[in-house]
């Protein structure tokens, strides 16, 4: 077999800047929408953001119905509720307003409304059937209100499948929104804890994609249609990831410390989009593979700062707690790139870097913004290592992108090291 020689980079058209969300109706009209479903969640609605976006859409003469029940950390059931609403509503366009919760729910609503099927038909194997959407989706505009997931720029929608005690997703190029509107003004009301978790997600996305296995280390696909969305690191994805890392290191502490620091909040919103474009091409790997069972295996942790009526582990917290150990493990695969990632995040040269340097830089950032100290703080103990490993192993589409192969023993070691980071 010959190795891959082609990489692709696709990006959502992005409109960025303070006040950009005022143009939401204009963008939907440009896309030809006449009747749209707006997907949001309780926190965004209570902040008055969804109501304002709804009015801006209708001002353009577009009929708009609000679905305000997007669930923080979506489940198969919550996706299905939104999909049923979409099917019944005869919509020709969709808008997600909120964090990754709302944007991912909007993607699935648009998918099922355009190509009706059981949601599990589209969910990644082995949890679902891994079916590919047969064609493009109805227009979708994504308006993030957090600086974290980068969902406005990605091809994935993540969900919890409680019956399987694991998180997984739907991943295909057609899920990429038709337009992203990134407005830093929308993050002013975010509590510091939410800003911290979302920002750590940005940082983790960026490091993972920057360090992922090179795209030309994979076997070439038999058909272009078989080329995976997560292709591995490539020269263009590295540019996006590097800039996101630079912004995360420079601005996240400030954004957490002061909600009125518009420069820092704007820089983190931009970093989220940059990281989303980068990992949308290169992919993420070990920390995310571990994060899905961390979020799904138990539902006992109640995070500060979130408007939710159920216990859950915020995604940014679930990914960041294993990142120091994961990158200590992957260091031998490419020491120079690990050093460079640490330098970008630290904002200075680190000429004597070793396997502990990038983890140390991450740990400093985690402590400074109030991240959990490790998996134990999220409700897990040594007795949970085995089921956590089992859940991580189900994330094959992620693990194959890791720069160093991680099997059951290696994953167990990473999780064990991550019980307490300090």
Residue 390 is part of a domain; what is its CATH number?
A: 1.20.1090.10
Same domain membership, residue 338 and residue 296? yes
Task: Report if residue 7 sits inside a domain.
Answer: no
The pLDDT score that the predictor gives to residue 73 is: 83
Q: Is the pLDDT of residue 215 over 90?
A: yes
Half-sphere exposure of 49 (CA within 13 A, CB side): 29
pTM: 0.89
341 and 216 in a common domain: yes
Q: Clarify whether residues 167 and 306 are in a common domain.
A: no
What integer is the mean pLDDT of 87-99? 96
| Average pLDDT estimate for 103-124 | 96
Q: Which helix (H) or strand (E) element contains residue 170?
A: strand 166-171
User: 75-84, 131-140, 301-310, 312-321: which range is least confident on average?
Assistant: 301-310
| pLDDT (0 to 100) of residue 260 | 86
pLDDT of 104 strictly over 90: yes
pLDDT band at 146 (very low <50, low <70, confident <90, very high): confident
Higher local confidence (pLDDT), 304 or 337:
337
Q: What are phi and psi of 327, to 5 degrees?
A: -80, -20
pLDDT-based confidence at residue 220 (cuts at 50, 70, 90): very high
Structure tokens at 174: 């057609």
330/224 same-domain check: yes
Quick one: pLDDT at residue 165?
Answer: 75
Q: Determine the structural domain holding residue 332 and report its residue range.
A: 192-417
Provide the CATH number for the domain around residue 114: 3.40.50.1970
Whether the pLDDT of residue 43 is over 90: the answer is no
| 166 and 235 inside one domain | no
* Cα(44)–Cα(83) distance, integer angstroms: 20
Name the more confident of 61 and 185.
61
Is residue 356 in a domain?
yes
Strand 93-98, strand 35-39: pairing: parallel
Whether residues 212 and 154 share a domain: the answer is no
């Amino acid at each position: 077999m010959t190795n891959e020689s082609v990489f692709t980079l696709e990006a959502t058209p992005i409109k960025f800047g303070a006040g950009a969300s005022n143009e939401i109706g204009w963008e939907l009209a440009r896309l030809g929408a006449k009747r749209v479903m707006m997907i949001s969640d309780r926190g965004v609605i209570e902040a008055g953001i969804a109501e304002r976006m709804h009015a801006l859409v209708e001002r353009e003469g577009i009929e708009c119905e609000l679905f305000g029940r997007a669930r923080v950390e979506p489940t198969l059931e919550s996706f299905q509720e939104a999909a049923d609403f979409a099917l019944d509503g005869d919509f020709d366009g969709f808008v997600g307003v909120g964090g990754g919760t709302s944007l991912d729910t909007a993607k699935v609503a648009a998918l099922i409304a355009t190509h009706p099927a059981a949601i599990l038909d589209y969910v990644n194997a082995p949890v679902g059937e891994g079916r590919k959407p047969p064609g493009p989706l109805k227009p979708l505009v994504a308006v993030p209100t957090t600086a974290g997931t980068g969902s406005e720029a990605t091809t994935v929608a993540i969900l919890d499948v409680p019956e399987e005690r694991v998180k997984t997703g739907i991943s295909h190029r057609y899920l990429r929104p038709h337009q992203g509107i990134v407005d830093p003004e929308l993050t002013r009301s975010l509590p510091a804890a939410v800003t911290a978790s979302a920002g750590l997600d940005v940082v983790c996305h960026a490091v993972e994609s920057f360090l992922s296995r090179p795209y030309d280390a994979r076997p070439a696909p038999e058909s272009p249609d078989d080329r995976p969305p997560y292709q591995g690191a490539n020269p263009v994805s590295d540019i996006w990831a590097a800039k996101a890392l630079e912004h995360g290191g420079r601005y996240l502490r400030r954004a957490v410390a002061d909600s009125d620091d518009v420069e820092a909040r704007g820089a983190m919103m931009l970093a989220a989009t940059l990281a989303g474009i980068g990992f949308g091409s290169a992919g993420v790997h070990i920390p995310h593979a571990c994060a899905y069972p961390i979020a799904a295996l138990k539902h006992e942790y109640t995070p500060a700062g979130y408007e939710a009526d159920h216990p859950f582990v915020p995604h940014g917290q679930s990914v960041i707690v294993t990142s120091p150990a994961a990158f200590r493990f992957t260091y031998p695969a490419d020491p120079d790139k690990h050093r460079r990632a640490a330098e970008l995040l630290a904002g200075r040269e680190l000429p004597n870097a070793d396997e502990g340097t990038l983890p140390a830089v991450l740990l400093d950032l985690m402590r400074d913004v109030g991240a959990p100290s490790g998996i134990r703080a999220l409700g897990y103990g040594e007795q949970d290592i085995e089921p956590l490993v089992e859940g991580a192993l189900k994330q094959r589409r992620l693990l194959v992108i890791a720069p160093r192969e991680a099997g059951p023993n290696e994953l167990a070691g990473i999780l064990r090291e991550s019980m307490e980071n300090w």
